[in-house]
């Protein structure tokens, strides 16, 4: 084969080579400069790059959806595991300085994985808050300070160690991280009587996009809305008080409950409805938690809901924290199981052959939820809502290659339910995030009208107030993800 001699070809090749190599060099420079920035803040031992042997284990430690653990899933350049507020501040400042996107992860339970993946091609960094997990319980004043990375089980455990009559209306799942759970509102066993977990927050502190510490009283007068869902504005450790220097970020108040409670699981079978077609048989499963004695509950249910068939044999009196274990599928376990972040008992059961298929979960509202105004916190789904519905479908891990068979089915079911649920907007719970509703443009610019699609779905009229807050504290949209709220400039 001969060589092509042409004086006009060389300049073209030169331009091509320079243009091709420049982004690689630029990315390498940014990466090196970012790591140097972190090292100057003395947190090098808390930084995990893709070359670190612990990188994969830390990344996957709190990924609860195997859809996002694939070779093609976007991976962060760096994972930072801060031990102190100054480490969080340094990571924010260095990320912003070098133009890197930031993801914050408390417990990794986000349905769409937005706390640890990115759909854009831009490099990103994860701040993993798992080490910021302090819980300080003040029994005398019936309050506690809790860091964002603490899981609900750690809070329940600390309460149980000090009191048998104090409780917090938090999540049933003990492995959910406190910070993100609170920021989405947070419903639990006691929310119909005492409201959401967010309704019981009285003080909070944050770090904004410039690394500044912001302090805010919350529910003392119910005058502040924006302590949650301001994208990834950090809950942070409290400073300048009588607590030690690494004290937690959110102050919550406890509720007084009876020493004995009654949780119950009860099934009603419909076998007699289709005796000739057993494949159509179904049933109803009732799960409830009552503050009081078993005999009072049985008498009440026999009067108002005799079809349930509840008897004293179905009811066992126990403490609040024991109720968490019983209803959380952890019966007969020691309290220490609440401290286990890696407990997977419930996940293994969900993937057993008997658990394959779809479920619709109905969570009953009303009670205290009807009394708290929609504007109290960003979570707006209050009076007039009968149930929250979650749609789930499960399949075996080895069947992941066929996932596209299952997800479209779930979408069709969700569409079918449209005429039976809330309208204008069709409301959704932000902690059950759904990117099908809509998402930001990859170039970083999203119009107010686009944001309203999911913003009003999650927050209704509170959306406008959240936009104003973001316009004030993060005008450059440093904290962002696929459904983050951006500033508005008219």
Buried b / exposed e over 252-281, threshold 16 CB at 10 Å, is: bbbbebbebbbbbebeeeeeeeeeeeeeee
443 contacts 414 by C-beta, under 8 angstroms: no
Catalytic member of 253, 432, 448, 488: 432
**What is the spatial distance between Cα 18 and Cα 9, in angstroms, rounded to a whole number?**
15
Q: How far is CA 210 from CA 234, 238, 283, 488, in A?
A: 11, 17, 54, 19
Which residues is 135 bridged to in the sheet? 146
End-to-end CA distance of the chain: 64
The radius of gyration of the chain from alpha carbons, rounded to an integer in Å, stands at 25
Which residues make Cβ contacts (< 8 Å) with residue 421, sequence separation at least 6?
Answer: 389, 427
Neighbours of 366 (CB within 10 A): 14
**Backbone torsion region of residue 260, taken as left when φ is above 0, otherwise alpha when ψ lies between -120 and 50, otherwise beta:** beta
Q: How far is CA 205 from CA 129, 275, 403, 470, in A?
A: 15, 60, 41, 16
DSSP symbols for 306-343: GGG---GGG---B-HHHHHHHHTT-TT--GGGGG-TT-
Does the N-terminal peptide bond of residue 284 adopt cis geometry, omega within 30 degrees of 0? Answer: no
Angle between helical axes of 85-97 and 9-39 (0-180°, round to 10): 160
For the question of residue 432 being annotated catalytic, the response is yes
SS3 263: strand
Place of tokens 């409301």: 427
Angle formed at CA 67 by CA 387 and CA 46, multiple of 5 degrees? 100
Closest CA to 168 of 185, 189, 140, 138: 189
**What is the spatial distance between Cα 359 and Cα 337, in angstroms, rounded to a whole number?**
27
233 contacts 206 by C-beta, under 8 angstroms: yes
Q: Give the pairing of strands 135-138 and 124-128.
A: unpaired
Which ranges of 70-166 does DSSP label H, i.e. alpha helix?
85-97, 152-162
SS3 471: helix
SS3 264: strand
- Known catalytic residues are 432
């Amino acid at each position: 084969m001969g060589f092509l001699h042409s004086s006009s070809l060389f300049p073209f090749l030169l331009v091509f080579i320079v243009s091709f190599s420049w982004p690689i060099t630029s990315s390498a420079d940014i990466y090196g400069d970012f790591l140097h920035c972190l090292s100057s803040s003395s947190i090098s031992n808390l930084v995990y790059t893709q070359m670190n042997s612990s990188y994969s284990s830390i990344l996957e430690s709190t990924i609860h959806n195997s859809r996002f653990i694939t070779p093609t899933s976007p991976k962060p350049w760096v994972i930072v595991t801060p031990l102190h507020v100054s480490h969080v501040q340094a990571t924010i400042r260095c990320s912003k300085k070098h133009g890197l996107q930031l993801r914050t992860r408390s417990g990794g339970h986000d349905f769409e994985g937005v706390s640890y993946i990115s759909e854009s091609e831009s490099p990103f960094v994860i701040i993993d808050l798992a080490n910021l997990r302090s819980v300080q319980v003040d029994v005398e004043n019936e309050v506690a300070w809790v860091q964002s990375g603490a899981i609900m089980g750690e809070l329940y455990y600390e309460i149980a160690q000090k009191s048998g009559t104090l409780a917090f209306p938090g999540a049933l799942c003990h492995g959910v991280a406190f910070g993100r759970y609170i920021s989405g509102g947070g419903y639990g066993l006691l929310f119909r009587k005492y409201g959401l977990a967010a309704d019981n927050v009285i003080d909070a502190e944050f770090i904004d996009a410039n690394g500044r510490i912001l302090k805010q009283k919350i529910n003392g007068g119910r005058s502040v809305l924006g302590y949650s869902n301001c994208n990834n504005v950090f809950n942070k450790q409290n400073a300048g008080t009588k607590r030690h220097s690494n004290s937690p970020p959110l102050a919550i108040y406890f509720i007084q409950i009876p020493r004995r409670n009654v949780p119950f699981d009860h099934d009603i079978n419909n076998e007699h409805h289709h005796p000739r077609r057993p494949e159509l048989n179904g049933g109803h499963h009732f799960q409830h938690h009552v503050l009081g004695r078993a005999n009072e509950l049985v008498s009440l249910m026999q009067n108002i809901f005799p079809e349930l068939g509840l008897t004293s044999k179905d009811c066992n009196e126990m403490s609040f924290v024991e109720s968490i274990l019983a209803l959380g599928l952890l019966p007969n376990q020691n309290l220490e199981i609440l401290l286990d972040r890696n407990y997977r008992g419930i996940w293994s059961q969900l993937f057993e052959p008997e658990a394959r298929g779809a479920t619709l979960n109905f969570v009953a509202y009303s009670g205290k939820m009807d009394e708290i105004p929609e504007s109290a916190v960003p979570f707006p789904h209050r009076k007039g809502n009968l149930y929250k519905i979650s749609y789930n479908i499960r399949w075996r891990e080895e069947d992941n290659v066929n996932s596209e068979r299952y997800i479209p089915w779930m979408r069709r079911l969700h569409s079918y339910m449209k005429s039976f649920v809330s309208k204008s907007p069709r409301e959704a719970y932000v902690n059950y995030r759904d990117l099908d509703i809509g998402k930001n443009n990859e170039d970083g610019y999203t119009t107010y009208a686009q944001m309203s699609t999911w913003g009003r779905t999650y927050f209704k009229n509170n959306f406008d107030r959240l936009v104003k807050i973001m316009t004030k504290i993060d005008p450059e949209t440093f904290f962002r993800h696929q459904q983050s709220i951006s500033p508005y400039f008219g």
